[in-house]
Amino acid sequence: MCHFAVQATVLVIRLDNRLFRRHPLCKMTGEIQREIEGLRERIWDHNYLYHVLDRPEISDAEYDSLFRQLQKLESLHPQFVTTDSPTQRVGASPAEGFRTIVHAIPMLSLENAFTLDEIKAFDRRICKLLHVDRVVYIAEPKLDGLSVELVYENGSFVRGSTRGDGTNGEDVTANLRTIRSIPLRLRRTQLAIPSVLEVRGEVYVETDDLHQLNEKREAAGLPVFSNTRNLAAGSLRQLDPQVTTTRPLKMFCYDIGRVEGIRIGCQEQLLRTLSLLGFRVNPLHRLCGGIEEGISFYNDFQVRRKTLLYEADGVVIKVDEFALRKVLGRVSHSPRWAIAGKFQAEQAITKVREIIVQVGRTGILTPVAILEPVRLYGVEISRATLHNEDEVKRKDVRAGDTVIVQRAGDVIPEVVKSLTKYRKGDEFPFKMPSVCPSCGSRIIRRQSMVAHRCVNISCPARIKQSIVHFAGKAGFDIAGLGIKVVNQLVEKEIIKRPSQLFRLDRETLISLERMGPRSADNLLAAIRNSRSMTLERLLFAIGIPEIGQQTARILAKRFGTLSRLGSASKEELLGIPEIGPSTTTAITEYFANQENRAVIEELLTCRVQIKGEGTRLGPLAEKRFVFTGALSRMTRDEATERVRHLGARVSTSVSSQTDYVVIGVNPGSKGAKARNLGVKILSEEEFSSLTEQ
């Protein structure tokens, strides 16, 4: 009996142990970790089926049950929580602002084609440059959204940014993590997981989702969004990711930047690879055996665009083979191997209430039609440009006319033509004024120029526009300095030139209408924070005629300092391939003007600092760097920015032209190639030492 009792006790203990091990709160550590990882794998797979392939295999209730199981286990065992877990899409606190991210490879804009003849001309240029009769293209829809870049390291999503100006974007990682069609971890397939992968695409909102969201906002008494692009852009720039997660954002991917660990030879292979790795790829792309097939896709897609779930404003036609793209190269702002065929703009009929004249920051007068409001492509239009006096006469547009208006390239409103059959006789022709409507100064029109110009550089309208341009996002980026504040500052003669913004004080700002102490303090803080400025942004901000962002970047890189550019001769400027005679004249005339020089002098007196000035002349100027492997002391973006500030360049491939290859943890094949070519190899410590000199 005693023996039986002992056996019974042992049996109970064994049963209890078995039960104990099965209890979810008491499992062995390894078993718990495996269960968590298994749940994640199942959820990742179902996310891919639902958000990427649009082919769900389980109900929402079943998915929610899996998700809750994972949440419960992770809450009990936080040591096993990873940043790429499906539960971690929204975890960041509201940000104070967005830091700048430098794209390792610039995100270029595309050349536009508005007619079939322009698309055919693109093909002729390609064939001529490649010395062939026919090229294989791939055609893809061009969505009306916001371009972004996603960066993955060893398969995990680590950061994401907006396109920005093509070189510098905004870090919107926390907001991008909320988009469920963006994988937080690359799918494991037969493909190798790349050590570094930069994926580019378009964040957008479907049309029905916009309408549903607007209905809810209208019912709640909130302002509605005018179109899907504004909704997408505004949602990604929310400082609180909790707000972004309530917005119906989706993403299609179509391009890559830097890649390490896999080889991709053409666009068709790229789209297949992206899909296998877990990204959404637009299924409506087509491989085209020549430009005729590309045009056929363009025509077909234009017909069906109204039936799509999203807004598309054109078709992008690209050379398929990457090797050919490398041969074709790029011009200053766009690749030679791609073109955006824009669709015929949507049109509407309305009336011209009056024609006013707008004075720009360079003094150019532009006639603008004030319209009876009409909706175009989801946006209410009440103004449309008439470009210049010759254009008004050519189209015979008069105040009181019934006109056809459109959004040029689906963006800029313009008057297409006047419908003269609706005239009643009380319409009157437009005539450009002989004096400036803002300051009363005389208007000049130089021979062979279409523009009329106010010659008074102290014209209030010119001053207002120049200050708005100066403080804009691509310039000094002074948050809170809108047109209403600028109007008051100029009309009350508080400031007469942009540089005087840095002399504003709290009392002066509080005296303005609708400007309380808190708003004044915020604006002054924004002005102080804008004092540190790169040369290229400064050149754009000060408003030299014909100097856009790309030209400013070229000039900053070529001359390195403001003083060197200011003393440059016409011969030096004309020696730059991207700078023509007209731009050369604009630059030399700007720096020859004493008032312009006074503005620059005042900026420097107000302690505006030009970051990196003069570094281009240092020992690393024009040197070429290549990075491979993960860096421990800094991110790849930070290393790239450091190199560029020193006047050097960053490349993604090793060649005989490479000066340095920086090797981090788990480097790829670039290190071996560098050794074979005799290229100098640096450890991360050596790189830090070299670039901190």
Looking at 142, 250, 318, 342, which residue is catalytic?
A: 142
| pLDDT for 488 beyond 80 | yes
**425 and 468 housed in the same domain:** no
415 & 472 share domain: no
Q: CA angle, corner 431, sides to 427 and 437, nearest 5?
A: 115
419 pLDDT more than 70: yes
Question: Domain ends where: 293, 318, 342?
Answer: 342
Range name among 1-5, 330-334, 378-382, 463-467 with the lowest pLDDT average: 1-5
Residue 104 is assigned to a structural domain of this protein: no
* 22-32 confidence digits (pLDDT tens): 444 445 677 88
> Which pLDDT belongs to residue 308?
87
Angle, in degrees to the nearest 10, between helices 116-130 and 291-304: 150
Evaluate whether residue 95 is within a structural domain. no
Residue with tokens 């303090």: 521
Q: Are residues 520 and 627 in the same domain?
A: no
Burial pattern 310-337, b for ≥16 Cβ within 10 A else e, equals bbbbbbbbbbbbbebbeebeeeebbbbb
In a domain, 96, yes or no: no
Encode pLDDT of 534-592 as tens digits.
Answer: 898 899 999 888 888 878 888 988 888 888 898 888 888 988 877 888 889 889 988 98
The neighbour count for residue 368, using CB atoms within 10 Å, is 17
**CA–CA separation, 258 vs 199, rounded Å?**
8
Provide the number of structural domains found in the chain.
Answer: 5
**pLDDT over 90 for what percent of the chain?**
34
Half-sphere exposure of residue 259: CA atoms within 13 angstroms, side-chain side: 16
13: in domain:
yes
Instruction: Please compute the mean of the pLDDT values over residues 301-307 and round it to a whole number.
Output: 84
Domain membership of residue 411 (yes or no) is: yes
**Per the domain annotation, does 102 fall within a domain?**
no
- pLDDT at residue 10 in the model: 36
pLDDT tens digits for range 339-395 = 999 887 678 899 999 999 999 888 889 999 999 998 876 678 899 888 888 889 989
Whether residue 330 sits in one domain with residue 359: no
Q: Provide the CATH number for the domain around residue 564.
A: 1.10.150.20
Question: Mean per-residue pLDDT for 75-92?
Answer: 69
Residues 57 and 179 in one domain: no
Say what the pLDDT of residue 609 is.
82
Domain-terminating residue out of 611, 643, 674: 611
In this model, does residue 117 exceed pLDDT 90? yes
Active site residue 393: no
Tokens found for residue 442: 């005389």
Mean pLDDT of 631-653: 75
At residue 489's C-alpha, the angle toward residues 487 and 493, to 5°, is 110
Q: What CATH number corresponds to the domain at position 210?
A: 3.30.470.30
Residues 564 and 628 in one domain: no
> For residue 160, is it within any domain?
yes
pLDDT on residue 437: 92
Q: Do 175 and 115 fall into the same domain?
A: yes
What average pLDDT does this structure show over 87-98? 57
How would you label 371-380 residue by residue, b for 16+ Cβ within 10 Å and e otherwise? beebebbbbe
- Domain that includes residue 127, residue range: 111-342
Domain with residue 622: its CATH number is 3.40.50.10190
Cβ-contact 370, 353 below 8 angstroms: yes
| 73 lies in the same domain as 157 | no
Residue 193 has pLDDT above 60, yes or no: yes
Average pLDDT over the chain reads 83
Residue where a domain stops, chosen among 307, 342, 377: 342
What is the helix, strand, coil percentage profile of the chain, to 5?
40, 20, 35
In angstroms, what CA-CA distances link 305 with 9, 29, 206, 297, 299? Answer: 76, 54, 13, 12, 10
pLDDT value at 21 more than 70: no
* Residues 150 and 263 both lie in one domain: yes
Residues 475 and 423 occupy one common structural domain: no
pLDDT for the residue 90: 53
Which pair of structure tokens corresponds to residue 389? Answer: 């006096």
Give the separation between CA 268 and CA 447, rounded to whole angstroms.
51
Q: Does 529 map to a domain?
A: yes
Check residue 435 and give its pLDDT: 93
Rounded CA-CA distance 351/119 in Å is 34
User: Within this chain, do residues 545 and 414 fall inside the same structural domain, yes or no?
Assistant: no
What does the alpha-carbon distance between residue 467 and residue 486 come to, in Å, rounded to a whole number? 7
Whether 487 and 518 map to the same domain: the answer is yes
